[in-house]
Structure 1
């Protein structure tokens, strides 16, 4: 299906309205997975012409996504990745885990952005960042599309490289998202150390339901947000 290529329209608007010089595009991947981290990429592209074919990672074939990601990592002015582990997701909840991963990505950039374009309608970053949310920003904004592709390829690689003893979960194919093979392996073996144990999928697995974790209140997780510590997932 034909689609409009992303542009710098939103970034130009932010620059004109706020005087921002450095604008980063931010996107996440892994929010709906049962296993693995949630991964956020922050990308700074400037106002240069984007590589041909750049769009939301979900609109690209795996082969084309890998090709564009390799090109993007050389083309972008700067990019950085941040992750929140399954343990952090269980302890903090997804919104706070997303913020933690996004802050890690933004703070990993060699230069601090003056403003951030965040994909979606919900600002999970907040102060002190100057944020503009854009629904389907990964399709319409060049910097966000770049972040989308890099985040997807990098997280897929993390999941594909998990130990071979978990090969029957087919993480290399499903990246930790729900699939018939994934569910069958869960029913047979139960969750791995890479699964999110506070999630509702365990409610449908009576033999493993006792492993489900109760999420702590957000206030109790505030210290973890401040510390930025990783909880047991080796990236």
Structure 2
């Protein structure tokens, strides 16, 4: 399907209206998964022409995404990844876990951004960062698209590593997201140490419902039950 390539329009606007020079793009992957971390990539690209074919990672084939990630690693000015573990997601809720992962990514950059372009319409990052939210930023903004590809490729690789010894769950193929293979393994074997135990998938698994965790740090119900910020399956 044809698509418009991402541009530096938002970044140029931020520079022109606020005077900032270092702008980072953030994107996350793993929010809707049953297993594994939520991962956020922070990328800084400057205003250079991006590698051909750059777009939202979800619009790319795995082969093309992996090849593009190799190009991006040497093309971006800087990038860093932050993760929140399944245990942190269970303890804090997805919104706070996203904030934690994003903060870890930003703090790991060798240069501190003066502004951040965040994919989506909700600012889960907040102070002290100057944030511009952009709906479908992973398709329209170069710096966010770069973060999208780098985050997806790295988390997929992590899930393949975590799947060693848990091959029945198909982490190499589903990256911890819902799938028939994943559900069948959960029904037969129960959650692994890599699963999120506060997630509602356990409600449909009577044999394993006793493992479900109640979060000690409450989060607004709408956020984790299919509301504006969170997803559960």
TM interval, shorter chain, is over 0.9
Counterpart contact for 2:37–2:83, Cα < 8 Å: yes
3-state SS of paired residue (1:161): helix
| Residue in structure 2 matched with residue 109 of structure 1 by the alignment | 109
Deviation of the 1:163 alpha carbon: 4.7
Gaps of 5+ in 2: 220-233
Matches of 1:84 and 1:39, distance apart in 2: 7
Map 1:1-235 → 2, pairs under 5 A:
1-218=1-218
Q: List 4+ stretches of structure 1 deviating above 6 A.
A: none
Q: Deviations over 1:85-124 (max 9, x none)?
A: 0000000000000000000000000010000000000000
Gaps of 5+ in 1: 220-235
- TM-score computed with the length of structure 1 as normaliser: 0.92
Q: Deviations over 1:4-23 (max 9, x none)?
A: 00000000000111110100
Deviation of the 1:218 alpha carbon: 4.6
3-state SS of paired residue (2:133): strand
- TM-score computed with the length of structure 2 as normaliser: 0.93
Q: Deviations over 1:184-230 (max 9, x none)?
A: 000000000000000000000000000000011259xxxxxxxxxxx
Matches of 2:113 and 2:216, distance apart in 1: 32
Counterpart contact for 2:163–2:170, Cα < 8 Å: no
Matches of 2:105 and 2:163, distance apart in 1: 25
- Distance verdict in 2 for CA 1:145–1:30, change over 3 Å: same
3-state SS of paired residue (1:157): helix
Matches of 1:131 and 1:15, distance apart in 2: 13
3-state SS of paired residue (2:166): helix
Aligned length: 219
